[in-house]
Amino acid sequence: MRLTTKHLFWLKTVIHLIAIFPIGYLIFLVMTNGAGGDPVQYIIHYTGIGALNTLVALLMVSPLARKLKQGILIQTRRMLGLYVFAYASLHVMAFVSLDLLFEWSLFLQEVVKRPYIVVGMICYLILIALSITSLKSLKRKMGKRWQQLHNLVYLLALLVPVHFYWSVKSEVIEPSIYILVICFLLLLRLRISAKLSQSLSWLKLRLNM
């Protein structure tokens, strides 16, 4: 079945429910003492994984839209991108408030000692820029610069799993899987982009004949 704009409302509703449910579940775990022996680290890890999972979902939209011939899926990318930013914001706030207790001097010390925090903050700054410029009015005003800025999502996709990999001490299997999955999705995206470029070149050639 080909999805149309009539289905977009329900599609977005389902995505909202799927994206919000883990946050409600986290609140439930914390309130029922189900967040393990170190709830602070559990919350930080949980929200970080939430941001990473949503980023993976975002990267899957274009390949799925092309494979399934469901162009309407493209209209969910902005919403998914904002959910990546929302989970990343919860992740950062949990680290600053629950782990560091808003001790900014301690934060600077942590940055010096732990390079993965620097990578994480670079990722968050990129997300802030992408989220602010996701407004349609800014997109129109920025023109070609908008696409150049939003191509940073690919740099973000590489840095986030690196941040995750460096942040763990021994359990490297999970971040390694994320690195492989994201690299596959980026290679798939490059392949799609190459095919599109070839098609456009062929079309221009035909028009000029």
Report pLDDT digits (tens) over 22-75. Answer: 999 999 999 999 988 899 999 999 999 999 999 999 999 988 888 888 888 999
Give the model's pLDDT for residue 6: 85
Domain ranges of the chain: 5-208
Q: In this structure, what are the phi and psi dihedrals at residue 12, rounded to the nearest 5 degrees? A: -65, -35
- List the beta strands (DSSP E) in 24-169: none
Q: Can you tell me whether residue 144 is helix, strand or coil? A: helix
Q: Can you tell me whether residue 34 is helix, strand or coil? A: coil
Q: In angstroms, rounded to a whole number, what is the distance separating the alpha carbons of residues 149 and 127?
A: 11
pLDDT lower than 70: segments of the chain: 191-209
Taking alpha carbons only, the member of 8, 47, 52 closest to residue 25 is: 47
Give the model's pLDDT for residue 132: 93
Give the model's pLDDT for residue 130: 95
Q: In angstroms, rounded to a whole number, what is the distance separating the alpha carbons of residues 120 and 100?
A: 16
Q: Where is 203: in which H helix or E strand?
A: helix 173-208
